């Protein structure tokens, strides 16, 4: 499970009792408390960040792309917009632009829009207008989530304790918030992951399967690529007769299949090479070395009596996200 969290100071983990910019310890912050539920949690919380900060949108997209694959992206912003005097409706309009940008990097069914806890009277919150707009943000965000077909959660219903400033989570608030996110993961994400335990991977950029098998199958993050002979998918014929050309085409087919799965040759952990003649090993190995870097995948290389269509080489691979 890999999670990215976009938000303001309550995602960053700001400690209102610290010097400006200080944060709670990782084990106190709600993002840190998710460690038991996730292999990786990427905290994109920024102190003072507002949904209206359009300059941050492209940055988030690039960060999310670099962190793929992600099972969940949480977005909780809007409090700073309300503190700056924007209405709930205006804030939702800004949030729409952010979510549209994020959807260019992340599938809608893995996005969770969270309405922040309602502000309370405190050092940063002086009048009832801010509290009223903060409360109205929930219905605005819910409508937005329905329009964009993404998940929605209302943290205003979670009894998250806020500090003396009326804005920031207390340590107890972080614990409560994390517990509700865990509930969401267990209720919504785990069933989806189980349904995706076995997925077929297919691309027109590699030879089509011509029997009862798939180009590749992904299971729980492992990608098993079927043996690839040197067929050029553009022509349906061998890429050439030499072992060099055939080795390269077999590897190009594997590369195309892995790219269709969102991976690369760098994800490969094991290969099996079958040769019609072991005397071709050195020439095959020279081409093979162009496609991998240290630490090299584990490998087995064997000579077989015959390969499909009279190929000189067939290569299969196992990769891990």
Q: What is the CATH number of domain 199-320?
A: 3.30.1330.40
Which residues have a Cβ under 8 Å from the Cβ of 287 and sit 6 or more positions away? 244, 247, 248, 251
Residue 111 has pLDDT above 60, yes or no: yes
Contact 223, 318 (CB under 8 A): yes
What are the structure tokens assigned to 31, written together? 């993002």
pLDDT of residue 192: 55
In the chain, domain spans: 2-195, 199-320
Among the listed residues 319, 181, 303, the one whose alpha carbon sits nearest the alpha carbon of residue 258: 319
Give CA separation, 202 vs 253, 260, 262, in Å: 11, 7, 12
Cis peptide before 69 (omega within 30 of 0): yes
Cβ pair 211, 205 in contact under 8 A: no
Tokens 């050309």 sit on residue = 245
> Using an 8 Å Cβ cutoff, are 214 and 202 in contact?
yes
Residues with Cβ within 8 Å of residue 111, at least 6 apart in sequence:
73, 75, 99, 102, 103, 148, 150, 151
Which residue has tokens 């819910």?
142
pLDDT score for 277? 98
18: tokens are: 């610290």
Q: What is the mean pLDDT of residues 31-55?
A: 89
Q: Do the domains 2-195 and 199-320 sit in the same CATH topology, yes or no?
A: no
Confidence of residue 198 (pLDDT cuts 50, 70, 90): confident
**Residue 127 pLDDT:** 85
Domain 2-195 = CATH 3.40.50.1000: no
- pLDDT at residue 104 is higher than 90: no
Q: CB 7: neighbour CB atoms within 10 A? A: 23
Which residues have C-beta within 8 Å of that of residue 289, sequence separation ≥ 6?
none
What is the tens place of the pLDDT at every residue in 261-313? 999 999 999 999 999 999 999 999 999 999 999 999 999 999 999 999 999 99
What's the token pair of residue 39?
Answer: 């292999």
Question: Residue 4 above 80 pLDDT?
Answer: yes
How sure is the predictor about 197, in pLDDT bands with cuts at 50, 70 and 90?
A: low
Whether residue 197 contacts residue 219, with contact meaning beta carbons closer than 8 Å, is answered with: yes
Q: In percent, how much of the chain has pLDDT > 70?
A: 97
pLDDT score at 185: 83
109 versus 22: the higher-pLDDT residue is 22
Alpha carbon separation from 313 to 98, 272, 288 (Å, rounded)? 49, 10, 12
């Amino acid at each position: 499970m890999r999670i990215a969290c976009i938000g303001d100071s309550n995602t960053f983990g700001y400690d209102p009792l610290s010097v400006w910019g200080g944060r709670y310890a990782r084990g106190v912050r709600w993002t840190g408390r998710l460690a038991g539920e996730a292999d990786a949690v990427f905290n994109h919380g920024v102190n003072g960040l507002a949904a209206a900060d359009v300059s941050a949108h492209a940055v988030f997209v690039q960060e999310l792309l670099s962190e793929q694959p992600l099972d969940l992206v949480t977005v909780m912003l809007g409090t700073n917009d309300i503190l700056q005097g924007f209405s709930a409706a205006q804030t939702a309009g800004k949030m729409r632009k952010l979510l549209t940008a994020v959807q260019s990097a992340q599938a809608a069914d893995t996005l969770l829009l969270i309405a922040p806890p309602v502000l309370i009277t405190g050092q940063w919150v002086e009048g009832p207008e801010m509290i009223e707009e903060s409360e109205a943000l929930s219905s605005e965000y819910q409508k937005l989530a329905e329009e964009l077909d993404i998940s929605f959660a209302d943290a205003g219903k979670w009894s998250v304790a806020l500090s003396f400033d009326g804005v920031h989570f207390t340590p107890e608030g972080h614990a409560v918030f994390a517990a509700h996110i865990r509930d969401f993961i267990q209720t919504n994400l785990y069933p989806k992951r189980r349904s995706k335990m076995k997925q077929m991977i297919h691309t027109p950029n590699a030879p089509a399967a011509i029997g009862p098998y798939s180009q590749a199958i992904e299971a729980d993050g492992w990608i098993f690529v079927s043996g690839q002979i040197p067929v050029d998918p553009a022509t349906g014929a061998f890429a050439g007769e030499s072992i060099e050309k055939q080795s390269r085409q077999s590897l190009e087919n594997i590369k195309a299949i892995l790219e269709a799965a969102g991976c690369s040759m760098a994800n490969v952990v094991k290969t099996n090479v079958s040769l019609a003649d072991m005397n071709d090993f050195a020439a095959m190995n020279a081409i093979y070395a162009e496609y991998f870097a240290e630490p090299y995948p584990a490998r087995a290389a064997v000579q077989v009596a015959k390969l499909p269509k009279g190929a000189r080489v067939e290569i299969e691979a196992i990769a891990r996200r």
